[in-house]
Chain A
Amino acid sequence: MNRRVLFAIAILVWAVLPMVLPRHFTDLLVFAAIYSVAGLGVGLLLGHCGIVTLAQSAFYAIGAYASAIVTVNLKLPMIVGVAAGLVTSGVIALALGWPVLRLRGYFLAVATLALAMIASALFFEWDWLTGGTIGLGGIPKLGAFGVVLDTPQSFYYAAWITAALSMILVHNLVSGRTGLAMRSMRDAIDAARVLAIDIHSLRVQMFVLCAMLGSLSGSLFAHYTGYVSVASFSIDKAILFLLIPVIGGAGSIAGIIVGALFITFVPEVLSKIGDFHGIVFGLALVIVVIAAPHGIVGTVERWWHNRRSGVSPTAEARR
């Protein structure tokens, strides 16, 4: 079958799902869309720049809090809240990223983790701003032109369209010159330097972009649930966002979607089996990491490529 036809069918299925699925599955799909935006940023840094970031939960929180405070306390339109979140995240990412991104490898990962932990501590401490454990409620639902998106079915479209637009943006970035520069920086750093690519500046730019994606994701989250509290922004969330590109595959958009679906549906489905569902989730992660080292999509792509070109798998693995 022709690729375009496949694509059109996929879009059709996507559009029809909320009407046929039970409500709480649609709800999970909405969360998958929201998380995929944040995971997109993390995947960008991981897959194309080779940077492991555990700070995404902090930017997600900033976006959520910005939207909440702007719409509830300041009573300004939602777009202002989203913009406030983007700007705040961008500025903080720039200010902190500039010194921190001089680090490499694990040090950088730990530094981003430290940033997330500092952010979490401040969210608890500054409860006059964030509401602390009690959180901020009464956030208005997304809506325009008289249409209010207050059900999972209606928000589904807004969430996935936002996710799709973000993915297109990132895809264009990655296919262009910036993408080439990033990959050269990741794979052959000395050659990149010789070609006068400003490594550090590029890394910071990507970090800022990742942060802004996280912020956008957080704003979506705030307007979907109507309530935010610091309990949603813990280190567990940072790890979850990292899992999206790792499980799905950092190198491709499809991988991000698969990863986001994995982290929303698998724990939910597993929780039905009993009190030991946590163990099974951990084991599932382990199995995916071992069996699919390039993420599910990455591994499937390689396997598919091997089958078509007749290359033996072991030769492929040695590459």
Chain B
Amino acid sequence: MIKHGVSPQRLRALMCVSALAAAVVTAFATPGTAQAQQATGEPIKIGAILAITGPGAGLGGPTRNGILLAEKAVNASGGVRGRPIRVIIEDDASNPDNARTKANALVHNEKVVGLLGPSQIAQALSTGAITDPLKLPQIVPAGLSVPVERERKCIYHVLPSQELNARALMEYAATALKAKRVGVLHDSGYGNAVMGALKAISSSYPGVEFVTIEKFEIGATDVTTQAAKVRAANPDAVMVIATSGVPFRAVKQVRLEAPVIAAIGSSSYSYVKAMGEGADNVVIPEFLVGEDPLPHQKAFVDMYRQEYKETPKNFEAAGWDMVQFMVAALRAVGPEAKPAEVCEWLRRPHSGVLADYDFRESDLTGMKLPSYVYSKLVKGEYTRLPFRVAK
């Protein structure tokens, strides 16, 4: 049961909570039903490729935590038809070439029944070239980005496409803020992708105009000049699209007073810490606000807090959901089923902690705008706004 990269302290903690969970579950088993057993037997191998090191580590680390928690929970409640699952987690170091190599190893060497991850867009595309020909089911915690992915019918996504993220941003700007002039500050990687989607959907929001779009490179350590340019254009609202805290600091420093809407990629505790004073008056369309979870998310948040002594956010929940869906499929069709069968079974609606999905949809995600939860950073703390997009 020992997986790569699990430290001894973590393992001890895991075993303690494992015993506790097993005890709790047996305590609540109603009389007459079979007592939940710790799964035994030959483990069923599920592969996972995540960005544990490299610049994407802010995504991969949390996702790994969610996956490990789910694996434990699944095994404590009987696994798949009595057999435990074993998630083999590999690190792609935020690099698509490594991700590909790991995918080859997991799929052809370890013969995993399904693949979770990778954490980032380029890696998802490069590993897809390996799983798609085999119709091996793959669930990705990253949004769909290019048309070619719609052809890969066995690769499902548990995070929204760039287009949906763009819509979520625009909805808030147009509906809640009633902004007419929007300024954008974005980075050249993730930011470019979302900006492209924003431009594509802007015709659906005719009252909103992008008065200025400023860019900065991914590793930038200072963007005050770009932020000053945005300020000079006098926008009603500012969209910041980045995977770092730097632009938020800059916005604060140049006294850009307009409200800030950030994309989900900026939403993690480490980024918030990096934002410093800029972590104030920032609205983020996301899915899980651990400080104030929606009713169906509460159980997961409590379990995560007990295990890791931290509050989970979107990527932890995504990790959890991915495992749960894969396991549900395996329980339904059996662990000996062909990959294509598992893939086919997954093609249906699912209700996860993060959101509601429908893998029958053409975007292989099926997430909808009403699933978004809008959080607001107030003096470095997440709060949940009542604003939701109407169904």
Report A's interface with B, CB cutoff 8 A. Answer: 22-24, 27-28, 31, 121, 124-125, 127, 131-135, 137-138, 152, 225-227, 229-232, 236, 267-268, 271-272, 274-275, 277-278
- Would you call B200 an interface residue if the criterion is a C-beta within 8 Å of the partner chain's C-beta atoms? no
Stretch of B176-184, B186-194, B363-371 with 4 or more beta carbons under 8 angstroms from chain A: B186-194
Stretch of B100-108, B202-210, B284-292, B351-359 with 4 or more beta carbons under 8 angstroms from chain A: B100-108
- Contact, CB under 8 Å: B121 / A31: no
Question: Sorted from nearest, which 9 A-B pairs have the closest CB atoms?
Answer: A24-B105, A229-B122, A23-B108, A24-B104, A124-B188, A133-B189, A231-B122, A27-B104, A137-B148
- Contact, CB under 8 Å: B122 / A134: yes
- Contact, CB under 8 Å: B146 / A231: no
The interface residues of chain B, by DSSP majority, are classed as helix
Chain B residue at minimum C-beta to C-beta distance from A131: B146
- Contact, CB under 8 Å: A137 / B193: no
- Contact, CB under 8 Å: A138 / B95: no
Chain A residues in 8 Å Cβ range of B109 = 22-24
Given contacts A135-B96, A278-B53, 15 further A-B contacts (CB under 8 A): A23-B108, A24-B104, A27-B100, A31-B97, A124-B188, A133-B121, A133-B190, A134-B125, A134-B193, A135-B122, A135-B125, A231-B120, A232-B122, A271-B91, A274-B5
- Contact, CB under 8 Å: B193 / A275: no
- Contact, CB under 8 Å: A137 / B104: no
Task: Digitize B43-87: 1 where CB-to-A-CB distance is under 8 Å, 0 elsewhere.
Answer: 000000000110000000000000000000000000000000000
- Contact, CB under 8 Å: A227 / B125: yes
- Contact, CB under 8 Å: A137 / B190: no
Given A134-B146, A138-B148: A227 and B189 interface contact (C-beta under 8 Å): no
The docked-state distance in angstroms from the alpha carbon of A124 to that of B90 is 27
CB pairs A–B below 8 angstroms (19 shown): A23-B109, A24-B104, A27-B100, A31-B97, A125-B188, A132-B188, A132-B189, A133-B121, A134-B122, A134-B145, A137-B148, A138-B148, A225-B97, A232-B95, A232-B96, A271-B93, A274-B5, A275-B53, A277-B91
Chain B residues in 8 Å Cβ range of A230 = 122, 189
- Contact, CB under 8 Å: A152 / B4: no
- Would you call B38 an interface residue if the criterion is a C-beta within 8 Å of the partner chain's C-beta atoms? no
Chain A residues in 8 Å Cβ range of B5 = 274-275
- Would you call B217 an interface residue if the criterion is a C-beta within 8 Å of the partner chain's C-beta atoms? yes
Task: Digitize B202-226: 1 where CB-to-A-CB distance is under 8 Å, 0 elsewhere.
Answer: 0000000000000101100000000
Chain B residues in 8 Å Cβ range of A274 = 4-5
The docked-state distance in angstroms from the alpha carbon of A256 to that of B326 is 44
- Contact, CB under 8 Å: B217 / A121: yes
Chain B residues in 8 Å Cβ range of A226 = 129
The docked-state distance in angstroms from the alpha carbon of A277 to that of B102 is 15
Chain B residues in 8 Å Cβ range of A267 = 98
Interface residues of B in 215-249 (CB under 8 A from A): 215, 217-218
Q: How far is the CB of B168 from chain A (nearest CB, A)?
A: 19
- Contact, CB under 8 Å: B125 / A271: no
Chain A residues in 8 Å Cβ range of B96 = 135, 227, 229, 231-232
Chain A residues in 8 Å Cβ range of B90 = 271
Q: How far is the CB of A11 from chain B (nearest CB, A)?
A: 26
The docked-state distance in angstroms from the alpha carbon of A31 to that of B101 is 9
Q: Most chain-B CB neighbours within 10 Å: which of A133, A268, A277?
A: A133
- Would you call B311 an interface residue if the criterion is a C-beta within 8 Å of the partner chain's C-beta atoms? no
Chain B residue at minimum C-beta to C-beta distance from A272: B4
Q: How far is the CB of B6 from chain A (nearest CB, A)?
A: 9
- Would you call B297 an interface residue if the criterion is a C-beta within 8 Å of the partner chain's C-beta atoms? no
Chain B residues in 8 Å Cβ range of A27 = 100-101, 104
Task: Digitize B315-343: 1 where CB-to-A-CB distance is under 8 Å, 0 elsewhere.
Answer: 00000000000000000000000000000
Q: How far is the CB of A244 from chain B (nearest CB, A)?
A: 15
- Would you call B26 an interface residue if the criterion is a C-beta within 8 Å of the partner chain's C-beta atoms? no
- Contact, CB under 8 Å: A24 / B101: yes
- Contact, CB under 8 Å: B101 / A124: no
Chain A residues in 8 Å Cβ range of B121 = 133-134
Q: Most chain-A CB neighbours within 10 Å: which of B4, B122, B189?
A: B122
The docked-state distance in angstroms from the alpha carbon of A267 to that of B97 is 12
Q: How far is the CB of A126 from chain B (nearest CB, A)?
A: 11
The docked-state distance in angstroms from the alpha carbon of A133 to that of B4 is 29
- Would you call B126 an interface residue if the criterion is a C-beta within 8 Å of the partner chain's C-beta atoms? yes
Q: Most chain-B CB neighbours within 10 Å: which of A27, A267, A271?
A: A271
Chain A residue at minimum C-beta to C-beta distance from B146: A134
The docked-state distance in angstroms from the alpha carbon of A138 to that of B128 is 11
Q: Most chain-B CB neighbours within 10 Å: which of A28, A131, A134, A267?
A: A134
Chain A residues in 8 Å Cβ range of B104 = 23-24, 27, 152
Chain B residues in 8 Å Cβ range of A134 = 121-122, 125, 145-146, 193
Chain B residues in 8 Å Cβ range of A127 = 192, 196
- Contact, CB under 8 Å: B129 / A225: yes
